[in-house]
Chain A
Amino acid sequence: MRKIILLAIFTITICTMIYSCQSESEIELASYVSNGKDIYIKYCQNCHGEKGEGLGQLAPPLTDSVFLKENKSQLACFIKNGVNKPMVINGKTYQEKMPSFPQLENIDIAQVIVYVTNSFGNKQGIYQHQLVESDLRNCK
């Protein structure tokens, strides 16, 4: 009987630990998303739209999950330095240049990337702000 009680307590403790860990990472994701949304509204929304729909052939939509996934490590570069080369998104080529946002800090960039890659039908989880620094060093 005692063994069973101990085992039960042990299991509950482990479960609680795992559960609280999970919710902590969920909280982190939620905080990235909510901060990222504010940055998105301020810097990105005028061209890319409230729902990430883009603007005609002038600004691409942010709904191409495959593109976002394949270029994940370049997203920080696109935001910080701008883009001046054609991009193929959802099978369409976009040639207008994207302005740079040098005023954004690494944490801002990470938050806005998390917002974009977890909105508009994308669901790619967290992108830690520590990654921004190394990604920016490897811009193509």
Chain B
Amino acid sequence: MIKFKNTISFAVLLALTIGFAACNNNKKLPIYGQREAVITKDKDGNQVVDTVYQTIPNFSFLNQDSTIITQDVFKGKVYVADFFFTSCTTICPTMHRNLKTVYEDFKSNPDVMFLSHTIDFKYDKPAVLKKYSQKLGIDNSKWLFVYGSKEDVYRLAEKNYLVAVEEDSTARDGYIHQGWLVLIDKDKKMRGAYDGTKTEQVEQLKKDISTLLAEEKD
């Protein structure tokens, strides 16, 4: 009788475990940003309501090797974007220390990339970015550092990635910005934003990248 009971409790436990595991597999990340309902026609000519999500528009920046890069580099990939500057002594070192741990975790996965934009359009020319990234100790084919005009970078930060950036002469280093690490999916939609200065949020980012990769495989 005792043996029988054990078997039952084991079975229940197994069922629960499988159940939870299944739940986990079905998990999807939310989609952030503006959305609008658009009425279109499906292939049979019926009117259907479709949701159009905010996406990252195309861009053109110089990378650390002074090569022009566009969104094509990230085609079919998941990437993490952030805004920083090399002479920043406040939150940037922590952000990049933490982001580097994410980079190390996904180093061998070709579907994951990283994109850091400098907001210091005066000083952070590509050569400076190159030196910085070498000193940070990362591979530039996977983690890109880009330079653009103030208008382009700031507009993209505020309107599209929803990260506040600002030139501020009263700030210690001349600029102020938020430390969000923004997760972008293969359809250029925003799927998450994590405070790069907080290790627990960065851990969540790692989990969410895996979730997103699994979701996109389906």
Contacts and interface: CB of A to CB of B under 8 A. Distances in A.
Interface in A1-58: 45-47, 49, 55-58
A4 B200 CA distance: 64
Contact of B137 (A45, A47, A57, A96): A57
Contact of B135 (A45, A49, A96): A96
Contacts of A55: 93, 96-97, 136
B203 to A, nearest CB: 15
A56 B137 contact: yes
A86 interface: no
B114 to A, nearest CB: 15
Interface string B92-119: 1110110010000000000000000000
Nearest to A45: B94
B58 interface: no
B93 A58 contact: yes
B136 A46 contact: no
A58 B91 contact: no
B132 interface: yes
A58 B136 contact: yes
A99 interface: yes
B88 to A, nearest CB: 9
A58 B89 CA distance: 11
A59 interface: yes
B134 A46 contact: no
A96 B137 CA distance: 14
B181 to A, nearest CB: 16
B135 A56 contact: yes
Q: How large is the interface on A (under 10, 10 to 19, 20 to 34, 35 or more residues)?
A: 10 to 19
A56 B136 contact: yes
Contacts of A58: 93, 132, 135-136
B167 to A, nearest CB: 19
Count chain B CB atoms within 10 A of each CB in A46, A47, A96 and give the residue with the most.
Answer: A46
B145 to A, nearest CB: 13
A56 B133 CA distance: 9
Nearest to A99: B89
A56 B134 CA distance: 9
A21 B100 CA distance: 47
B91 A46 contact: yes
A47 B135 contact: no
B90 interface: yes
B104 to A, nearest CB: 12
Contacts of B94: 45-46
Contacts of A59: 93
A57 B136 CA distance: 6
Contacts of B135: 56-58, 96
A58 B135 CA distance: 6
A8 to B, nearest CB: 56
B150 to A, nearest CB: 24
B93 to A, nearest CB: 4
Nearest to A59: B93
9 contacts: A46-B197, A49-B97, A55-B136, A56-B136, A57-B135, A57-B136, A58-B93, A58-B136, A96-B135
Given A55-B93, A58-B136, 14 more contacts: A46-B97, A47-B89, A49-B97, A55-B97, A56-B100, A56-B135, A56-B136, A56-B137, A57-B134, A57-B135, A58-B132, A58-B135, A96-B135, A99-B89
